[in-house]
Amino acid sequence: MREPHRATNTAWWDNYLVALVGLLLAGGLAFAAVTAAQAGAYPLAIALGALAVPFALPTVVQIVGEIVVYLTLIGLVLLLPVLIVSPRLRRWGNKRWRSLRLVA
What is the pTM assigned to this prediction? 0.60
Q: Output the pLDDT for position 46.
A: 96
- pLDDT confidence band for 1 (50 / 70 / 90): low
Q: For 3, which DSSP code?
A: P
Confidence class for position 37, pLDDT limits 50, 70, 90: very high
pLDDT, one tens digit per residue, over 75-97 is 888 888 888 889 998 898 888 88
Residues 4-25 pLDDT 10s: 766 667 666 777 888 889 999 9
Domain locations along the chain: 6-102
CA distances (Å), origin 41, targets 10, 26, 45, 87, 88: 41, 19, 6, 66, 64
